[in-house]
Amino acid sequence: MRILIAGGGEVGYLTARRLSREGHEVTIVEQDAERCAYLEEVLDARIVRGSASSPDTLRQAGIQDTELLICVTDSDEVNLLACLAGQAESASVLKVANLRTHEVEEWRRLCATVGLNVDLIIHAESELAGRLLRVLGTPGVSDIIDFAEGRVKLFGMTVEESSWVAGKTLAELDRMGPPKHSLITMIFRGPEVIIPHGSDVLLPGDQIYIITRAADLERVFAFMGLPSKVELKRVFILGGKQLSIWVAQSLERMGVEVKLFERDAARCEKIARVLETTVVVHADGTDEATLIEENVKDASAYLAFTNHDEDNIIASLLARRLGAKKLVALVNRLNYLPMAHRLGIHTTVSPRLYAVDRILQYVRKGRVLSVTTFREEEAEAIELVAAESRYTGRKLKEVRLPKGAIVGAIVRPDGEVTVPRGEESIHPGDRVIFFTLERVVPELESAFLAAPRRRPA
């Protein structure tokens, strides 16, 4: 596929890196000369210097022959203008735009009203806010991800020194009678990513991901020794980004007491006009004296959402020392993610990485329903609809999946959910959730998204 990416920032770079590795023909439009030089050095992609809102620049980049235009600059206005110019230059081009504005729904409506056909509008902040709320009141859980419209749940947790599962193999755990429809799908151990089998041992410090049916989630929590859910009472939010506002609004609707810290006075005034019950504090939320004065001790959660990953990590560690119970940090630099978890930060979020996941889901073949990337893009969860192939209709124990991939769950067309063992089989039309190392993705997709075989006449 010929793909034109408007914007060579972090989202554009990560998207181009993945798509070029998957064999797509990628061109990037970027205005900054220094950034262009860097992209030319590190990417297998064509780089065109200029503004993505300029029709002439888009023509130089080949918009007339482009099949997919991905607009991911730092400016919502430029992204929408690039889509408009792309539509004018090529009636057939598909268009994706990443927006940050809190008025995203209004812009969806306006685009439809004026006939600007943006095929996918990504608003990472609002979608991440919903995902984040699922874990704030769940001790010991770093993430809860939904598949199959919420019928399948994947959650992350860290194996503590005191945990009863530490030192046991997966086969031993299986003999101890966990809920039937549950499976440990990934183990992150330092720099290593393990797609596990029965002989693998859980070690203290491992970050593991477990898949289960929604109906069995609480039972799996109990089996793994996780504490019961707690009521959210007070939440501190550092930084006045759009993500902070979306989360604060959601917490307000739940009746949670929220304090939001922002250093910029003008930004504080704008936020205060948007939020209703949240206390907006014009102060440095990373300052120890300020946090003590505002009573961070015993806060249900402390969410660090500034523009700087380092500040978010350090502020989270300070909040933990002062007594905050759940720590969440916005971390966009992929190489910081393992460190953040090793330092004891319970949950990390990245709007940039989420946007890349949504783009990959859209670019890949039509039967891919969702893509979730983990850590430094080393592993993925792929939700897809299986086509007829040599892998379908056979028991899983008889199928040689690509090394580094396992089946996490199967959702039948009638809605039945199975976390399978070797006796199960995949049939055409099943929704299947795979867990795989990133390098295995093309092979896995080729195997399960193959066009149906023609039957003899």
Strand bridging mode 431-437 / 379-385: antiparallel
Residue-wise pLDDT for 108-129, tens only, equals 999 999 999 999 999 998 888 8
Three-state secondary structure call for residue 231:
coil
Q: Which of 48, 120, 50 is nearest to 83 (CA)?
A: 120
Residues in the chain, total:
457
Percent of the chain with pLDDT over 90: 75
Segment 40-52 shows an average pLDDT of 96
Three-state secondary structure call for residue 46:
strand
CA separation for the pair 186, 156 (Å, rounded): 9
Neighbours of 79 (CB within 10 A): 27
Q: Do residues 88 and 94 make contact, with C-beta atoms less than 8 angstroms apart?
A: no
CATH number of the domain encompassing residue 359: 3.30.70.1450
The pTM of this model reads 0.86
Sole residue written with tokens 């966009």: 332
Supply the mean pLDDT for the chain. 92
Q: Which amino acid is at 239?
A: G
For residue 402, name the pLDDT band (cuts at 50, 70, 90): confident
CA 122 to chain centroid: 12
* Residue ranges making up the domain that contains 216: 128-223
Helices (H), 22-65: 33-42, 55-60
* Domain end position, chosen among 122, 151, 186: 122
Burial class from Cβ neighbours inside 10 Å (0-12, 13-18, 19+) for residue 183 reads buried
Helices (H), 66-207: 76-89, 104-114, 124-136, 170-175
Segment 92-98 shows an average pLDDT of 95
Bridge partners, 4 (sequence order): 27, 69
**114 and 33 part of one domain:** yes
**145 and 108 part of one domain:** no
Q: How many domains does the chain have?
A: 4
**182 and 291 part of one domain:** no
**188 and 104 part of one domain:** no
Neighbours of 293 (CB within 10 A): 11
**49 and 86 part of one domain:** yes
**288 and 196 part of one domain:** no
Residue-wise pLDDT for 244-277, tens only, equals 999 999 999 999 999 999 999 999 999 999 999 9
**80 and 133 part of one domain:** no
Is residue 417, in this structure, part of any structural domain at all?
A: yes
* Predicted confidence (pLDDT) at residue 455 exceeds the cutoff of 50: no
CATH number of the domain encompassing residue 332: 3.40.50.720
Is residue 229, in this structure, part of any structural domain at all?
A: no
CA 322 to chain centroid: 29
CA separation for the pair 310, 333 (Å, rounded): 10
* Domain end position, chosen among 63, 93, 122: 122
* Domain end position, chosen among 100, 122, 144: 122
Q: Do residues 331 and 343 make contact, with C-beta atoms less than 8 angstroms apart?
A: no
